[in-house]
Amino acid sequence: MGYTGSALAALDSGLPRRSHIFVSSIPDLYQLWAIYHTRSTAQFVWDVADICHSLLAPDRTDEQRNQVRERNIAFNTVLHQECAKYSRCKFDGNAVFGYQFTANDVSTLDYD
């Protein structure tokens, strides 16, 4: 059993009977890059704050960014599958991953 399964098992067995577990998908950070990659301030913050270099670093290729995005999709699949094993667990159906945010939804203080 992986970390996710262990965590869900602990929650499922330890929470009061009427409790529910909510699992949200990992956001699509590729969208963040698409919105802000041309802004030097965002690039600076991503670099200095060490925010998701695997996707947001300026030296990454489109192929590398797509690989990170695909890996997040795979992680979301695992979250969905593990959550489905427990009747009290609800997965967001990839709502967070699929949310099409805009620049207005992102803080300009941290760009993350």
Q: Is 111 contained in some domain?
A: no
Q: Are 34 and 57 in contact (CB under 8 A)?
A: no
Q: pTM for the complete prediction? A: 0.85
Cβ-in-10-Å burial (0-12, 13-18, 19+) of 1 comes to: exposed
Q: Is 94 contained in some domain?
A: yes
Q: Is 9 contained in some domain?
A: yes
Number of domains making up the chain: 1
The pLDDT profile of the chain, 112 residues, written as one tens digit per residue, is 566 678 898 888 888 988 999 999 999 999 999 999 999 989 988 888 888 999 999 899 999 999 999 999 999 999 999 999 999 999 999 999 999 988 888 887 767 5
Range of the domain at 56: 3-105
Q: Is 79 contained in some domain?
A: yes
What token pair was written down for 46? 């991503």
